[in-house]
Structure 1
Amino acid sequence: MTSTTKALVLGAICALGLTACGSSSPGPASQEPATAVDVGAASAVTPPDAATLAAARKEGSLLLYTNADNQLMKPVTAAFEAKYPGIRLRVLDMNDTQIFQRYATETATGTRSADVVMTTDAVGMLDFVKKGNVADYTDPNVANLPAYARLAPGVVAMSEDPVVAAFNTALVPEDRQPKDMASLARFARSAKGKVATTDIGNPTEFGAVAGYLGVHGEEGWKNIEALGPASGVESGTGNLMQKLAQGQYEATYFVGGTVRALITGDAAKVLNYSYLTDGTPLVPRAVAVTKGAKSPAAARVFVNFVLSVEGQEAACKGGFTPYRAGVKCAYGLPAIQQAVGAGNVIVGGYPADLSEQQPTIVARWKKAFGR
């Protein structure tokens, strides 16, 4: 979620006369997991080696390009700089396409560019790897991570963010909210243009659709193609959630899970979210050290941090979804599994043929949605 997205969502909520803009009062959210969920035992600490840490301190800073806005990154930045004083983390948030285009332009002209990239654009990241832009670096934490987190050479998931359904509760009370994609399709047909999602060009939407179809195949396409004619389509999450909060939409689906951090307090008087029981794909948020890094040691220290239990707990505070064992987080993977059942969570990775699948998936989606 970029800064613009967050501003649009909060702006819409504020415009409704709520105090969510400044209130921290608690409020319910659909399927909000219990904080007592068993997260398992943390694995052994695997910090960077002394030589890497000394070199990172000498470099003094690193530059991160990411599609996560600064508000989401703020707890991560604060925790990292507190753990490693003297190493400054500079964060530039932009959309996924801009990340790769900017890096290409800057490195071609010898301009300072990103030391680390963090993105949810799976196809874009695979192309980035193919072009030789990712450093050959395997973090010590990787040995403690599940196999699905190892996305590509030099690329690992720092979070596995779900896509959710979100509802305007003034228009659709919780007892009327669809629980799965099939019932959502039936609801959409009766709601007459009041259900929406984002365009397939949005990497989160594509990741969600590809993940859902990877499990449900043609049966999944039946639900998506039933939703298509009855769904509105927005370019991004900001517009989608703004119109939901204002009542132009009653329900939305395949929404990036970082919105969960916004649907709290007084905002939850207007909006709630749920994990659809047959369609909760997790979209991996990939992180990698760049081949052209000017601060390669600091970059490795940062990646080590975000993959650690401590770093993942900091990421949770921003709304990201940690997945490794031993991380206490109400938004974490164990909590999602508790909410809908482990068998109903589609854990995302980078299938070998994902780039080849993309044109077919995009074309069929566009036909279904009349785009």
Structure 2
Amino acid sequence: MMLARRSRSRSRSATALAVTALALGAAMAGCSKSSTSVQPPAAATPAAPAAVADLVTKSHGESGLIMYGNAPTAVIQPLLDDFTKTYPWIKPAYSQLSDNQVYSKYQSEHAQQARSADLLISDSIAQVLQGEQNGLFAGVTPQGLANFPSYTDQGHGVYVMSPDPVLVAWNTKELSGSQIPTSYAQLAASVKNDPSHFPLVSYSPNNPLGYEAVYGLTHILGADTAYGRLDAYGPHTRTMDEGLDGMQYLAQGGASVAWLSSGLAQAVVPQYKGLADYGYMSDATPLVPRLITQTAGAASPASAQLFLDYLYSAEGQQVMCAAGMEASMNDFRSASGCTADLTDLAKHVPANTTYLVPVSQDVVDQQKAITDRWNKALGH
């Protein structure tokens, strides 16, 4: 599996790094797609993790923990509930917002010196890079990072909370057996051969996850092949800005296939009570990084760091997996039977068909060209 890691220097490489195997254990050696060696990040050595005892002491003097994020509240809530079992005096409050709102709301409030978010969660690589440039993030280091793939630490206080796989979902009343697509190539052939049976739904090009997923497809399949797939799907695709809206549209029979589904489908599909199911495309599985940062203006910095420590603990990873967020701890083994983790993903997709979208300027630079090409395929 190809996993990209951003350089911590201000001048980021536009080339995504690749590694030779799924991130499940030992540290991974990186190389670009042209096998050019990559030098270690040039930034200053990050701060050592703060001692938990010190954070606990400081957190008693803080007032709550505010988080803004793009993940559904129902997915985040199990994490908050479990966290408060260990730290009952910390009262977390989570606001579900769009990717753009996560940053605009925080920046507006921070500029007015109002109480605002201590932690930000977003898929928007462009917003994260801009936030870093504007000095919005605290350069803290969580405990436990040694137990995770090296790409988890993106530098400058930016961390991959979950590397969410892009899935395919289908309406189980419309498709069964060999009709269910298992590759983007198969889906393109099915749409061509029987378009009336394959109305499609996907994220719109305006959604960060949607765009980043297609960026990933161009790197796995090659641009020509990826755009050929878009051309096949486009005339038959209805796009939606929110993934949950697309899943509801699918379950209600508006589409038979959602060809770009967030990894969070692993959490929400069960609520559709057998009307929808999900799987993986064998020829390409982009991983979109859900990123978490502690804000430089955090009013409860110790509480925020304790939550980061919790996320990157064995317990936190178990809760994430059970909630449907991709657990990425090295050698993760589910204690509950959940399957939202990289260990399970490796059982379903070939290692060379996955790719972690990099937190890099290239993702921003390519956005107009890729979205214009996608909109052309959609007939916009």
TM, length-normalised to structure 2: 0.81
Q: 1:48 offset after TM fit, Å? A: 4.1
Note if 1:325 corresponds to 2:334: no
- The aligned runs of 1:170-181 (5 Å cut-off) are 170-181=173-184
Partner of 1:230 in structure 2? 236
- The aligned runs of 1:71-110 (5 Å cut-off) are 71-110=74-113
Aligned pair partner of 1:210 in 201, 211, 215: 215
Task: Report the structure, 1 or 2, having the larger helix content.
Answer: 1
- The aligned runs of 1:230-249 (5 Å cut-off) are 230-249=236-255
Q: 1:336 offset after TM fit, Å? A: 1.1
Per-residue CA deviation, residues 139-190 of structure 1 (Å, 9 max, x unaligned), is 2323332122223421011111111111112111132112111111122232
SS in 2 for 1:272: strand
Partner of 1:264 in structure 2? 270
Q: Is the 8 A contact 1:337 1:345 kept in 2?
A: no
Partner of 2:66 in structure 1? 63
- The aligned runs of 1:189-208 (5 Å cut-off) are 189=192, 190-192=194-196, 194-208=199-213
Cα distance in 2 for residues equivalent to 1:179 and 1:75: 31
Question: Which of 1 and 2 has higher RCO (CA within 8 Å, sep 6+)?
Answer: 1
Structure 2 CA distance for partners of 1:109 and 1:235, relative to 1, 3 Å = same
Per-residue CA deviation, residues 295-332 of structure 1 (Å, 9 max, x unaligned), is 11111111111122211111122110111124324211
- Tell me which amino acid in the other structure corresponds to 2:90: I
Partner of 1:351 in structure 2? 360
Q: Is the 8 A contact 2:50 2:141 kept in 1?
A: no
Q: Is the 8 A contact 1:148 1:348 kept in 2?
A: no
Cα distance in 1 for residues equivalent to 2:361 and 2:268: 34
Per-residue CA deviation, residues 241-270 of structure 1 (Å, 9 max, x unaligned), is 1221111211111111212223237722x2
SS in 1 for 2:289: strand
Partner of 2:315 in structure 1? 310
- What is the RMSD of the two structures over their aligned residues, measured on CA atoms? 2.1
Partner of 2:261 in structure 1? 255
SS in 2 for 1:58: coil
- Tell me which amino acid in the other structure corresponds to 1:331: A
List alignment gaps of at least 5 residues for structure 2: 1-23, 27-48
Structure 2 CA distance for partners of 1:261 and 1:49, relative to 1, 3 Å = closer
Q: 1:356 offset after TM fit, Å? A: 1.2
Structure 2 CA distance for partners of 1:48 and 1:369, relative to 1, 3 Å = farther
Cα distance in 1 for residues equivalent to 2:279 and 2:138: 38
Structure 2 CA distance for partners of 1:367 and 1:266, relative to 1, 3 Å = closer
Per-residue CA deviation, residues 258-286 of structure 1 (Å, 9 max, x unaligned), is 12223237722x21111111121111111
SS in 2 for 1:59: coil
Q: Is the 8 A contact 1:194 1:251 kept in 2?
A: yes
- Tell me which amino acid in the other structure corresponds to 2:315: E
Cα distance in 1 for residues equivalent to 2:116 and 2:189: 48
Cα distance in 2 for residues equivalent to 1:162 and 1:351: 18
Cα distance in 2 for residues equivalent to 1:126 and 1:266: 36
SS in 2 for 1:103: helix
Note if 1:286 corresponds to 2:295: no
SS in 1 for 2:291: strand
Structure 2 CA distance for partners of 1:282 and 1:54, relative to 1, 3 Å = same
TM, length-normalised to structure 1: 0.83
Q: Is the 8 A contact 1:77 1:89 kept in 2?
A: yes
Structure 2 CA distance for partners of 1:349 and 1:148, relative to 1, 3 Å = farther
Note if 1:337 corresponds to 2:346: yes
Cα distance in 2 for residues equivalent to 1:234 and 1:185: 20
When structure 1 is superposed on structure 2, of 94-103 and 356-365 the one drifting more is: 356-365
Cα distance in 2 for residues equivalent to 1:208 and 1:120: 11
